[in-house]
């Protein structure tokens, strides 16, 4: 009997188990528990998570698609490592895609309803119980801004960029809180929401530009 292909083997894995492993590894990367460049030891994860290698390898494949993990030929996987130049380029790409989304989305037909996901993400940032919860909400805030355009391809393009940027964005917010007022980061995101509420594309684009200009500082 022929051996099953990688694709068919993946379909036999419980999606919830793969998602659980992927989520735990993603959280470990984004909260700094797994550092950039650190090798990911499958055997250690098997023991720690109490699962076999199959869901771990599938989770690593998904994380590699998101740009959080790199596969090393014959050497396993490691956490992706980004230079300051890479990070600046990612922030610039985020800015380009956000401004395109705003240009195509505004004026909104029903701002009160359509801006609700942006408001909810901002509120989740305010009420987060820990750093990772706030960082997830921060990423979802920017995803919700782009989602205003109602463009599935645009959403698919911005998602891996925001995942790669979640840790740098978090580090910038924490650095800003140390050197300025702790609420400045929230106020800048509130300024974006307020600009969106004007329903004027140029006003919103200016707020996004100001936010991006201040935010993609070299780490």
- pTM of this prediction? 0.76
In sequence order, which ranges of 106-183 are alpha helices (DSSP H)?
111-114, 116-127, 131-147, 152-179
Tokens of 7: 């694709």
Q: Please state whether the peptide bond connecting residue 37 to the residue before it is cis, i.e. omega within 30 degrees of 0.
A: no
Query: What tokens were used for 45?
Result: 């994860």
Q: Does residue 73 sit in helix, strand or coil?
A: coil
> Which residues have a Cβ under 8 Å from the Cβ of 22 and sit 6 or more positions away?
58, 59, 62, 63
Query: Which helix (H) or strand (E) covers residue 52, if one does?
Result: none
In CATH, what class is 84-215? mainly alpha
Indicate the fold that domain 6-79 takes in CATH: Arc Repressor Mutant, subunit A (1.10.10)
Q: Where in the chain is the domain with CATH 1.10.10.10?
A: 6-79
Per-residue pLDDT of the chain (219 residues; tens, 9 = 90+): 343 444 444 445 456 888 889 888 988 888 788 888 999 998 898 998 888 989 999 999 989 888 889 988 888 899 988 888 988 999 999 999 999 999 999 999 999 999 999 999 999 999 998 878 888 899 999 999 999 999 999 999 999 899 888 878 776 666 665 655 556 678 889 999 999 999 999 999 999 988 875 454 433
- For the chain, residues classed under CATH 1.20.120.530 are 84-215
Distance, CA of 174 to chain centre? 16
Specify whether the CB–CB gap between 62 and 15 falls below 8 A.
no
């Amino acid at each position: 009997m022929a051996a099953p292909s990688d694709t068919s083997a993946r379909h036999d894995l419980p999606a919830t188990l793969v998602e659980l492993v992927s989520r735990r590894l993603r959280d470990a990367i984004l909260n700094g528990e797994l550092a950039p460049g650190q090798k990911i030891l499958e055997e250690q994860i098997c023991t720690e998570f109490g699962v076999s290698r199959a869901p771990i390898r599938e989770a690593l494949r998904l994380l590699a698609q998101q740009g959080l993990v790199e596969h090393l030929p014959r050497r396993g996987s490691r956490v992706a490592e980004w230079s300051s130049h890479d990070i600046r380029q990612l922030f610039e790409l985020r800015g380009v895609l956000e401004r395109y989304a705003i240009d195509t989305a505004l004026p909104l037909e029903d701002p009160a309803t359509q801006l609700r996901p942006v408001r909810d993400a901002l509120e989740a940032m305010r009420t987060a119980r820990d750093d990772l919860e706030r960082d997830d909400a921060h990423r979802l805030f920017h995803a919700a801004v782009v989602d205003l355009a109602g463009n599935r391809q645009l959403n698919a393009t911005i998602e891996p960029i925001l995942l790669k940027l979640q840790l740098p964005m978090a580090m910038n917010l924490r650095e800003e809180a140390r050197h300025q007022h702790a609420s400045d980061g929230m106020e800048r995101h509130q300024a974006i929401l307020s600009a969106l509420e004007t329903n004027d594309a140029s006003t919103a684009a200016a707020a996004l530009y100001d936010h991006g200009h201040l935010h993609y500082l070299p780490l």
